[in-house]
Structure 1
């Protein structure tokens, strides 16, 4: 009984800690006051929750129904696979028009913004530069600046709150890396917005007229567990912790567990020797995760990282990708490993990591090349931290 009481106390403490955090969307009175009688558009997805209810439904119930919805990668309800084109349409529940910001058009057009006074942005980030919701924020800010629209950002904590990795070089700018920031940027969306404005990254001396409804009860360094998975293949805290380190495998022939119930928590390949890598998994089509995963219906051998102490990684590590590359090299199959070198460089924001890995350099040696840029970024970041 004492043990049960102890467990209940611990559980209650955790619940209390969680409820002490008020995200931007939870401060609904502040938001509705800013909206007033303005016609708004909402940039949101399945993470846009307040009090267990989607922000769209909450706004509609308060008579603040948006005139349009903008959908990022994975769609407004977060069901599309990674890279899958998101189409325009209507929200099934409210009938509100949905305009895709993933696919052919990644930026709201002049016609998209016609009749809109304000855009409300509420999307949960995971702290990694190549997570495309950052690019969506950038393009929304740029569109607002160009068209004289007000932007309100409903801030949420960064669940992988580290600063690490190479800083993106401008020649590797893409939708998976739109800003000159490291792989793990250590900011919230609201802080990134300040950096985008303050560093002049919108171009042509433009500034976005924006405001942030700040998080209450959270500061940098505090843990944060997401109540809703931010995208189909990040189902839990462990996957989010490993995501920055394992996403590099998306440019290789090694699976990150897409097509399983534990994506971004395992790595493996049919080419790896099963006598050395005894853990195995078989990717299959899984609704709500990935319908066409790498090595579909083929047994992969590799590493199960679900019990790994990810705190030892400090958020980002090249350990796993270097190990797998060296293993393929031993088998004289190194050419079979790096299947999309250009994609690898875009994810890293530089070709330095790939080239140094191919030269056989250690992680410490590879890191030494980006230390100066990373330290310079840390100084820039200090100007925009609000928690």
Structure 2
């Protein structure tokens, strides 16, 4: 295996005092040439117009993850100062950091602490749903506090069951906003929604925004419905596929180019040696939330998140099987072959499982169902699995009660209507697939990594 040293010169446009200037960022790095395929690397600093001179170096992908670097491991003080429009380090730099317990490097160090060691002054920490430690339950208010280690004020961006916008009081003294959150890969997980609100505020108050990019744990598949206009909410804040196949940095670029009315002075620090097929190397940096504690739970969440909005399902919340199982209370009578039949049906579409029985602390009942053994999220279609479980249950006579949030999280009422027998599968497939195709074509210029997301079309035939 030969090693090639490459110099990546980035020419980035920044806006300072109403004028635009060019500067060059020299990033020297080595990449390994190996037998499997080419891998496009981009160190991105994307500016207001999304037309920044941005050069990608095309080299062979690395065979070892030891050279993989997160955006937070790539960023330097010079890049932070440049993004803020400052040419030198003399006057200091004050930032606001949007992060939580997932904002760590591969050595487990908080990005918050690493930036402070670089001499960056962090005036405020802004936190999403679940709080700075990721321990606040879903939909519960996150309160303002202080970071125990540093004493830095922690400002909540979630309350009253929805996101909260950043305001002028919290932004006026900041030179730059820096965003780093580990996403789950699903649109209805609200860290994406927090990103969107942060971008709106950055645009409104003319604050540059830097994204320290992280992997998508669900890898490259892109599938499922987009969001119908009347269903926009905090769990469906922008019309992207329910399983989007993109990183936070790529989503930010897409929002800036195609969704936001006022553009952001946006800077994305891309990962180095990242191949979309590898997903998230190693383990999660920390639990994403009280119930989303592992990569395997993220894989399950890709279809169980929506199933959790349908009664009488139990998806194991409050147990060791959280978001890795589906079950019914034993008070719901089903045929004796019910779970075996469902397991066989799901096995045909790439999802393996085994029988499970547990006590549900939420329902205070014994439940019986399936525990999913999911090792690779690229081996199954989350949307197909969701539809298969729902239609199987409906045909078996299980009374399904959809929550008010289901249509919003799905992005469409047509899925629920199809399951209930009020909408045809052919029409659902046509709507979903046409929207997916249009989105993919529009989003192409926002992609930073290879391979590009793989569009998974929904079959108009029952599988």
TM-score by length of 2: 0.71
CA pair 57-382 structure 1, distance change in 2 beyond 3 A: same
2:97 to 42, 47, 52: 42
Within-5 A mapping of 1:102-121? 102-104=158-160, 106-121=164-179
Q: Does 1:319 align with 2:385?
A: yes
CA pair 378-242 structure 1, distance change in 2 beyond 3 A: same
Q: Distance in 1 between matches of 2:414 and 2:228?
A: 10
CA pair 154-272 structure 1, distance change in 2 beyond 3 A: farther
Query: How many residue pairs were aligned?
Result: 355
SS at match of 1:176: coil
Q: Which has the larger radius of gyration?
A: 2
Correspondence for 1:291: none
Q: Does structure 1 conserve the Cα–Cα contact (< 8 Å) formed by 2:394 and 2:420?
A: no
2:359 to 278, 282, 295: 282
Correspondence for 2:122: 66
Correspondence for 1:353: 415
Q: Distance in 2 between matches of 1:374 and 1:121?
A: 27
Moved more, 320-329 or 249-258: 320-329
CA pair 362-311 structure 1, distance change in 2 beyond 3 A: farther
Q: Distance in 1 between matches of 2:374 and 2:195?
A: 34
Q: Distance in 2 between matches of 1:101 and 1:192?
A: 19
Q: 1:303: how far off?
A: 1.3
1:89 to 145, 149, 168: 145
Q: Distance in 2 between matches of 1:188 and 1:68?
A: 25
Correspondence for 2:21: none
Q: Does structure 1 conserve the Cα–Cα contact (< 8 Å) formed by 2:394 and 2:419?
A: no
Point out the structure with the larger helix share: 1
CA pair 128-95 structure 1, distance change in 2 beyond 3 A: same
Correspondence for 1:338: 401
Q: Distance in 2 between matches of 1:359 and 1:83?
A: 31
**Could you give the per-residue CA deviations for residues 144-194 of structure 1, whole angstroms, max 9, x where no partner exists?**
111011111101111113210011111110101111111111211111111
Q: Does structure 1 conserve the Cα–Cα contact (< 8 Å) formed by 2:299 and 2:374?
A: no
Correspondence for 2:64: 17
CA pair 307-317 structure 1, distance change in 2 beyond 3 A: same
Alignment RMSD (CA, Å): 2.4
Correspondence for 1:207: 263
SS at match of 2:288: coil
Q: 1:65: how far off?
A: 3.3
Correspondence for 1:3: none
Q: Distance in 1 between matches of 2:375 and 2:315?
A: 15
> Unmatched 5+ residue regions in structure 1?
1-14, 285-293
SS at match of 1:354: helix
Q: Distance in 2 between matches of 1:101 and 1:140?
A: 9
Within-5 A mapping of 1:159-308? 159-160=217-218, 161-199=220-258, 201-203=259-261, 206-225=262-281, 226-253=284-311, 254-270=313-329, 271=332, 273=334, 275=336, 276-277=338-339, 279-284=356-361, 294-295=362-363, 297-306=364-373
SS at match of 1:218: coil
TM-score by length of 1: 0.85
Q: Does structure 2 conserve the Cα–Cα contact (< 8 Å) formed by 1:272 and 1:302?
A: no
Q: Does structure 1 conserve the Cα–Cα contact (< 8 Å) formed by 2:129 and 2:190?
A: yes
Q: Does structure 2 conserve the Cα–Cα contact (< 8 Å) formed by 1:164 and 1:184?
A: yes
Within-5 A mapping of 1:131-146? 131-146=189-204
CA pair 17-364 structure 1, distance change in 2 beyond 3 A: farther
Q: Distance in 2 between matches of 1:150 and 1:356?
A: 44
Q: Does structure 2 conserve the Cα–Cα contact (< 8 Å) formed by 1:132 and 1:176?
A: yes
CA pair 274-103 structure 1, distance change in 2 beyond 3 A: farther
Q: Distance in 1 between matches of 2:195 and 2:229?
A: 18
Q: 1:49: how far off?
A: 0.5
Q: Does 1:367 align with 2:429?
A: yes
Q: Distance in 2 between matches of 1:141 and 1:308?
A: 34
Q: Does structure 2 conserve the Cα–Cα contact (< 8 Å) formed by 1:40 and 1:120?
A: yes
Q: 1:198: how far off?
A: 0.7
Q: Does structure 2 conserve the Cα–Cα contact (< 8 Å) formed by 1:233 and 1:258?
A: yes
